[in-house]
A = this chain, B = another copy of it.
């Protein structure tokens, strides 16, 4: 056991903190531990006890999203059409990033506050990597992109969708930009 099991009330506190942090993130408000403490009507100390830094809390907020993406990826691995599998996975990924600010922040962060986050990000990478390899094996991927580029590219697509775009239109824009990336902006120049 890594951590001692939390006392029931402590566990409940922790959950309330995370729930409220989720709201803060969804509001687009920067995540501050003091702010969260006030919102959950707990002392700052309590919040700090559970989450040593704002990043740790943010990653905890992001975790279910990361898990869900990985789970989706796992299911996609069962898809017989490798292109469809990869496309579906990536679509889901950018949609999630555009919808959930904790995911875009955590995905793009160079370092993690929690080991658990690193683990989740690796799981996700791994699934992406497998989907990518299958697509490669099926010759549906051009050569000059590697599996390592998937995360940065998805972060970029999500970022692009936020630039000069009204919030309501971002999910749709993200889908369009992903499509552009997958299919290419330029028509193939066929040399006869």
- Residues of chain A having any CB pair with chain B under 8 Å: 83, 86-87, 107-108, 110, 135, 139-142, 144-145, 149, 151-153, 155-161, 163-165, 173, 176-177, 179-189
- Docked CA distance A177–B181 (Å): 9
Majority SS at the chain A contact face? helix
Instruction: Give Cα A182–Cα B184 distance, bound, in whole angstroms.
Output: 5
Assembled-state Cα–Cα distance A142/B86 (Å): 21
| Complex alpha-carbon distance, A10 and B157, angstroms | 44
Q: Tell whether, in the assembled complex, residue B151 and residue A187 are in contact, meaning their CB atoms are under 8 Å apart.
A: no
Give Cα A27 to B144, complex, Å: 31
A185 and B189 contact, CB distance less than 8 A: no
A146 to chain B, nearest CB (A): 9
> Are A180 and B153 closer than 8 Å at their CB atoms?
yes
Of B110, B139, B184, which is within 8 A of A181 by CB?
Answer: B184
A186 to B155: give the CA distance in the assembly, Å.
18
A163 closest partner in B (C-beta): B152
Choice from B151, B159, B179, B184 contacting A156 with Cβ under 8 Å: B159
Q: Is the CB of A181 within 8 A of B188?
A: no
Contact of B152 with A186 in the complex, beta carbons under 8 Å:
no
A-B contact pairs, 7 of them (CB 8 A): A142-B183, A157-B160, A159-B160, A182-B186, A183-B186, A184-B185, A184-B186
Nearest chain B residue, comparing its CB with the CB of A107: B163
Given contacts A144-B180, A184-B184, 6 further A-B contacts (CB under 8 A): A140-B187, A141-B186, A142-B180, A142-B186, A183-B186, A184-B186
| Residues of chain B within 8 A of A176, CB atoms compared | 144-145, 149
Distance in Å: Cβ of A15 to nearest Cβ of chain B: 23
